[in-house]
Amino acid sequence: MYIIDRRLNPGGKSLANRQRFLRRAKAQIQRAVRQTAGDRDITDLERGGEVTIPADGVREPSFRRSGEGGVNDHILPGNKRFIEGDTIDRPPGGGGGSSAGGDNGEGEDDFRFALTRDEFLDLFLDDLELPDLAKRRVATVETQGMRRAGYTVTGSPVNLALLRSMRNALSRRIAMRRPKPEDLLRLEQEIERLEQQEGPSDHLTALRQELEQLKLRTKRFPYIDPLDLRYRRFEPVSRPVAQAVMFCLMDVSGSMTEHMKDLAKRFYMLLYIFLTRRYKHVEIVFIRHTHEAKEVDEETFFNSPETGGTVVSSALREMQRIVEERYSPDSWNIYAAQASDGDNSPNDGSTSAALLRDVILPVCQYYAYLEVGSDSDRMQTGFINHKTSLWQTYETLQEQGANLAMRKVNHRREIYPVFRELFRRRDAEAGARVP
Amino acid sequence: MSLLERDNLLFQGADWDFSLIQRIHDAIETIGVGEMGLNVYPNQIEVITAEQMLDAYASIGMPLFYKHWSFGKRFALHEASYRQGFMGLAYEIVINSNPCISYIMEENSATMQTLVIAHAAFGHNHFFKNNYLFQEWTDADGILDYLEFAKGYITRCEERYGHAAVERVLDAAHALMSHGVHRYPRKKRPDLRSEERREKERHLHLEQTFNDLWRTVPTKGAAAKPQLSDERRRALLELPQENLLYFLEKSAPRLQPWQREILRIIRQIAQYFYPQRQTKVMNEGCATYCHYRIMTRLHETGQISDGAFLEFLQSHTNVTRQPEYDDPHYGGINPYALGFGMMQDIERICTKPTAEDREWFPEIAGSGDAMAVLRDVWANYRDESFISQYLSPHLMRQWRMFHLVDDPDQPELRIEAIHDERGYRRLRRSLSRHYDVGWSDPDIQVIDVDLAGDRRLILHHHVLNRTLLHKDDAQRVLQMVANLWGYAVVLKEVEPATGAIFQEHVAHPHETLF
């Protein structure tokens, strides 16, 4: 008998099967993922998790009898009161007769299984793309890494390049005409044979001398010499790391309700997840503003209420200051998303527009403006064409050709579609949009 | 407990290590081979983790298998229900190979490992080695090598022809798997080890005899072909043929050689698993009976403690529980329970027969040597024949079996037979028929094809009890058959007695697929 411990074998033996399965059902899984994302809290998105797809797409059909029609019979255990010839009413709702149901599971309806976080996000963010990636190549923080770079004659034993060393030894042996072991052996045998056959002769002496010389030569040119040794050489390289900073700008004046903040938060979360997938290093800056703007931490950003008027340009100025101080546009990819209910003090419009056009937009990879409305807004059909003051300001900018994305969102289930729309791959469209 | 008895114990507590597994195996071997006369392949016991068990589930328990999305699906399904706690994992998986490989889980306690080794490494192992179906149809020596070959071959095909093309062939072959077995022995036995060699030889022969000149030789006019009679034509194609995969592999006009080879691989694997489908009750019954006997003997001889024996009994009774028909847990007849029950019953008939037993089983009643009878049963029967021969009135009464018939033409369900003098034989006959795969699988045959004409393939489904095929599935599978065949395929559902046709399915090949 043998006992084999397989526990340490690498797991994931069916990974290849899983990939085939995901590929096979990709369309359905993707639909399910999007649907799940709609229902789920955005903070949970990163966790991956269960999705349900219709079983139909991954069905494995076979020739089998249908459960309906025809005569079915069953042998059942546990008779308590029946005798031969008894009849029983058909149980309601099925021709199956009893619970025996030996038939194949007709009712395999939905197929439920778990996706890992990575699989989930891959499918979730599939076919989305960061716009304007020009600066991604520009990198600042450089990590040090090692890279193979040829061979060297010195080094530590672990880096010994065995193949190369042996090849050097071989070529040296050939070049130096180091006697081959089989030649030596042949000579020795010849001498031995001659010694047995006849007495001392000149020929024998000559042979002996030759052997002596060959042996000397063998000793002088060793099989392997320190000269032959080669080591794998590594050299340090610095690798650029693409990095991004994400500015979250939000109006926190009294007119912003919890619902609106929630919408904004969801959008920021999505953006953050998306950026972390594309960049190794992502920083977030939260700027909230009323009539004056302040950089705050996340907790304060979303939770503590403020009162005051609304001056959008204050936030833009704050952002400008922070960019100048900490995030040089040469080395950072800058993304900004602004959420607001659209209010702005009437005399601030032109200031904001100028700031945005002349200062902010030129340093940004992408600037998105998300106007959040209350849930009930959608109902008021009469106001559909109503434009807030900020919207009007930005719209004018956009018409002048500024690279600015604007969307309006009223309900949390619209967040994800809007997000997709903003970031969807726009190969065809790109030429048309950028003047 | 005296000092001597304590020394006799194989283990105390739940912990185990490899030397203990060895000692347990040896103790079981003494009882199994020495006292019960089991004849087993050498054992190879492999310890695996829960995750690896899930992996093994996905590939029908085989240690190596080709890649296909359906296995990924199965894995996802099992994993989901396992993680949610809906499903426990089996304690073991055993493979019909030589040496016989048993997987045991690392989580099992020492008692469970003992049980598992007795059950799988001796019970199942003996059955695999001795049952006539396994001897006839499976090649325990060659299966692992063949799977290795199959896996490699399919991987190479994927590299050469693309995942999508291979997947289409595999999908179609899987759909026809239940109709890809020979049910009756043919002239030559399958020898899996030589399959790989033969595939290479076929390929080599093609390469060696390839001559491009043949392409340029002008062909004769079609008129020169002799007209074959219908009879002769069908005989040449070995029609009618119930092994659809075999027929397609041999006769489909438009398949590439590698596509034929994949069909062949799936067919071989289907054939390998065919005996297992026919011997579920016997196989599990044999293993359960063996582990019960062995564990009892281990306890009697003081090699396992009372506590361990109780732990074993708890798990044993769980496995052999048979809920009654009106129990919410009822899910059909439990093969473990039925097999174990019948084998214990045989033991009772051999050792303590009643007058009724002497009348029903004159040849074994009171013979005294239950093991000899059981060994003979395990070697020479399958579920259907086993039940029709050895289901005793005693057991039918004990289980209180009854036969329920659901005829759609009648307004009510009818009790056809119960566990009484009038019903025993009818009950037994009906139950045994339920275990006949020839009866439970729809009977589908290739009836005719005119290779010289329009090449339309005609299949017949011989309808039993007026139960037609599942329409949607049938159409899907038929589409796959058409894709493999390359021309139109028609499936007629025929009443065998009258020749009346209930339904006709037609499928035309997707030209682009193959």
pLDDT at A95: 41
pLDDT at A39: 61
Question: CA-based Rg of chain B, rounded to a whole angstrom?
Answer: 26
For residues B246-251, give the mean pLDDT: 89
- Nearest chain A residue to B105 by CA: give it: A7
Q: Does the pLDDT at position B346 exceed 90?
A: yes
Are B73 and A58 within 8 A, CB to CB?
yes
- The alpha-carbon gap from A65 to the nearest alpha carbon of chain B, in Å, equals 4
Are B106 and A64 within 8 A, CB to CB?
no
Among partner residues B70, B327, B465, which is closest to A70 by beta-carbon distance?
A: B465
Residue of higher predicted confidence among A112 and A133: A112
Give contacts of B83 with chain A, Cβ < 8 Å: 114
- The alpha-carbon gap from B105 to the nearest alpha carbon of chain A, in Å, equals 9
Are B47 and A62 within 8 A, CB to CB?
no
- Asked if residue B27 and residue B116 are part of one domain, the reply reads yes
pLDDT at A132: 52
Q: What does the pLDDT look like over A38-84, one tens digit per residue?
A: 665 555 555 666 777 777 777 888 888 877 767 788 888 988 888 88
The single-letter code of the amino acid at B327 is: D
- The alpha-carbon gap from A58 to the nearest alpha carbon of chain B, in Å, equals 8
Confidence of residue A4 (pLDDT cuts 50, 70, 90): confident
> Which element (helix H / strand E) includes B402?
strand B402-406
Among partner residues A14, A65, A111, which is closest to B442 by beta-carbon distance?
A: A65
Q: What does the pLDDT look like over B399-441, one tens digit per residue?
A: 999 998 888 888 888 888 888 888 899 999 999 988 888 788 8
Among partner residues B176, B415, B444, which is closest to A84 by beta-carbon distance?
A: B415
Of A45-49, A382-386, A422-426, the poorest mean pLDDT is in A382-386
- The alpha-carbon gap from B408 to the nearest alpha carbon of chain A, in Å, equals 6
Q: What percent of chain B has pLDDT above 90?
A: 34
- Final residue before a domain boundary, out of B385, B410, B438: B438
Are A112 and B80 within 8 A, CB to CB?
yes
Among partner residues A69, A76, A114, which is closest to B79 by beta-carbon distance?
A: A114
pLDDT at B155: 92
pLDDT at A141: 52
- 3-state SS of B298-323 is HHHCCCCCHHHHHHHHHHHHHHCCCC
Q: Does the pLDDT at position A145 exceed 80?
A: no
Class of residue A413 by CB neighbours under 10 A (exposed 0-12, middle 13-18, buried 19+)? exposed
Q: CB count, 10 Å around CB of A319?
A: 27
- Asked if residue B404 and residue B357 are part of one domain, the reply reads yes
Which ranges of A251-363 would DSSP assign to H, the alpha helix? 258-278, 298-303, 312-326, 349-355, 361-363
User: Cβ distance B435 to B384 under 8 Å?
Assistant: yes
Q: Which of B255, B264, B257, B256 is closest to B482 using CA atoms? A: B255
Question: Which of B47, B62, B71, B73 is the best substitution to test chain A (most A C-beta atoms within 10 A)?
Answer: B73
Q: Does the pLDDT at position A429 exceed 60?
A: no
Q: Does the pLDDT at position A99 exceed 50?
A: no
Q: What does the pLDDT look like over A206-227, one tens digit per residue?
A: 888 988 999 998 888 899 988 8
CA distances from B198 to B181, B205, B208, B245 (A): 20, 10, 15, 19
- Nearest chain B residue to A3 by CA: give it: B45
Are A69 and B467 within 8 A, CB to CB?
yes
Q: Does the pLDDT at position A15 exceed 50?
A: yes
Structural domain that includes position B414:
320-326+334-438
Instruction: Locate B213 and state its tokens.
Output: 């000149």
- The alpha-carbon gap from A266 to the nearest alpha carbon of chain B, in Å, equals 29
For residues B175-184, give the mean pLDDT: 86
Q: Is residue B173 part of a domain?
A: no
pLDDT at B1: 43
Are A3 and B423 within 8 A, CB to CB?
no
Give contacts of B472 with chain A, Cβ < 8 Å: 61
- Asked if residue B372 and residue B300 are part of one domain, the reply reads no
pLDDT at B125: 93
Q: Does the pLDDT at position B88 exceed 70?
A: no
Are B408 and A95 within 8 A, CB to CB?
yes
Q: Is residue B219 part of a domain?
A: no
- Asked if residue B12 and residue B117 are part of one domain, the reply reads yes
Are B461 and A71 within 8 A, CB to CB?
no
Confidence of residue B225 (pLDDT cuts 50, 70, 90): low
- Asked if residue B486 and residue B462 are part of one domain, the reply reads yes
Domains of chain A: 21-56+112-126 (no CATH), 157-233 (no CATH), 241-433 (3.40.50.410)
Give contacts of A17 with chain B, Cβ < 8 Å: 58-59, 67-69, 71-72, 75
Give contacts of B106 with chain A, Cβ < 8 Å: 7
For residues B123-128, give the mean pLDDT: 93
Q: Rounded to an integer, what distance in angstroms lies between the CA atom of residue B513 and that of residue B482?
A: 11
pLDDT at A434: 35
The single-letter code of the amino acid at B268 is: Q
Confidence of residue B497 (pLDDT cuts 50, 70, 90): confident
For residues A362-381, give the mean pLDDT: 72
Confidence of residue A432 (pLDDT cuts 50, 70, 90): very low
Give contacts of A1 with chain B, Cβ < 8 Å: 22, 25, 29, 42-45
- Final residue before a domain boundary, out of B394, B409, B438: B438
- Asked if residue B493 and residue B396 are part of one domain, the reply reads no
Question: Which of A60, A72, A81, A115 is the best substitution to test chain B (most B C-beta atoms within 10 A)?
Answer: A60
- 3-state SS of B330-348 is CCCCCHHHHHHHHHHHHHH
- DSSP class of residue A150 equals E
Secondary structure class of A432 (helix, strand, coil): helix
Give contacts of A59 with chain B, Cβ < 8 Å: 473, 476
Q: Does the pLDDT at position A109 exceed 70?
A: no
- Final residue before a domain boundary, out of B389, B409, B438: B438
- Asked if residue B471 and residue B446 are part of one domain, the reply reads yes
Predicted-complex ipTM score: 0.78
Among partner residues B18, B69, B324, which is closest to A3 by beta-carbon distance?
A: B18
Instruction: Locate B264 and state its tokens.
Output: 């062949």
> Which element (helix H / strand E) includes A51?
strand A49-54
For residues B29-53, give the mean pLDDT: 89
Q: Is residue B183 part of a domain?
A: no
- Asked if residue B385 and residue B447 are part of one domain, the reply reads no
pLDDT at A7: 81
Q: Does the pLDDT at position A422 exceed 50?
A: yes
For residues B285-313, give the mean pLDDT: 92
Among partner residues A19, A62, A70, which is closest to B178 by beta-carbon distance?
A: A62
> Which element (helix H / strand E) includes A7?
none
- Nearest chain A residue to B19 by CA: give it: A3
Q: Does the pLDDT at position A26 exceed 60?
A: yes
Size of interface A-B (CB pairs under 8 A): 264
Give contacts of A78 with chain B, Cβ < 8 Å: 323-327, 399-400
Confidence of residue B227 (pLDDT cuts 50, 70, 90): low
Give contacts of B473 with chain A, Cβ < 8 Å: 59, 61-64
Q: CB count, 10 Å around CB of A297?
A: 9
- Asked if residue B342 and residue B306 are part of one domain, the reply reads no
Q: Does the pLDDT at position B188 exceed 70?
A: no
Are A18 and B59 within 8 A, CB to CB?
no
pLDDT at B406: 85
- Asked if residue B477 and residue B386 are part of one domain, the reply reads no
Q: Is residue B340 part of a domain?
A: yes
pLDDT at B71: 87
Sequence-distant (6+) residues with CB within 8 A of A207 are A187, A190, A191, A194
pLDDT at A381: 44
Q: Is residue B482 part of a domain?
A: yes
Q: Is residue B361 part of a domain?
A: yes
Are B403 and A9 within 8 A, CB to CB?
no
- Asked if residue B500 and residue B408 are part of one domain, the reply reads no
Give contacts of A102 with chain B, Cβ < 8 Å: 332, 434
Are A99 and B434 within 8 A, CB to CB?
no
Class of residue B51 by CB neighbours under 10 A (exposed 0-12, middle 13-18, buried 19+)? middle
Which ranges of A111-222 would DSSP assign to H, the alpha helix? 117-125, 162-175, 181-197, 202-220
Q: Is residue B163 part of a domain?
A: no
Q: Does the pLDDT at position B2 exceed 70?
A: no
> Which element (helix H / strand E) includes B172?
helix B163-175
Give contacts of A72 with chain B, Cβ < 8 Å: 405-406, 465, 467
Number of compact structural domains in chain B: 3
Q: Rounded to an integer, what distance in angstroms lies between the CA atom of residue B447 and that of residue A113?
A: 42
Are B58 and A50 within 8 A, CB to CB?
no
User: Cβ distance B166 to B157 under 8 Å?
Assistant: yes
pLDDT at A8: 79
Question: Please, how many CA atoms are within 13 Å of residue A358, restricted to the half-sphere of its CB?
Answer: 8
Tell me the range of A227-231, A373-377, B508-512 where mean pLDDT is highest. Answer: A227-231
Question: Which of A5, A13, A87 is the best substitution to test chain B (most B C-beta atoms within 10 A)?
Answer: A13
Give contacts of B75 with chain A, Cβ < 8 Å: 14, 17-18, 21
Confidence of residue A142 (pLDDT cuts 50, 70, 90): low
- Asked if residue B347 and residue B288 are part of one domain, the reply reads no
Of A6-15, A168-177, B23-32, the poorest mean pLDDT is in A6-15
Q: Is residue B272 part of a domain?
A: no
Q: Rounded to an integer, what distance in angstroms lies between the CA atom of residue A261 and that of residue A305?
A: 11
pLDDT at B123: 92
Q: Rounded to an integer, what distance in angstroms lies between the CA atom of residue A21 and that of residue B74?
A: 9
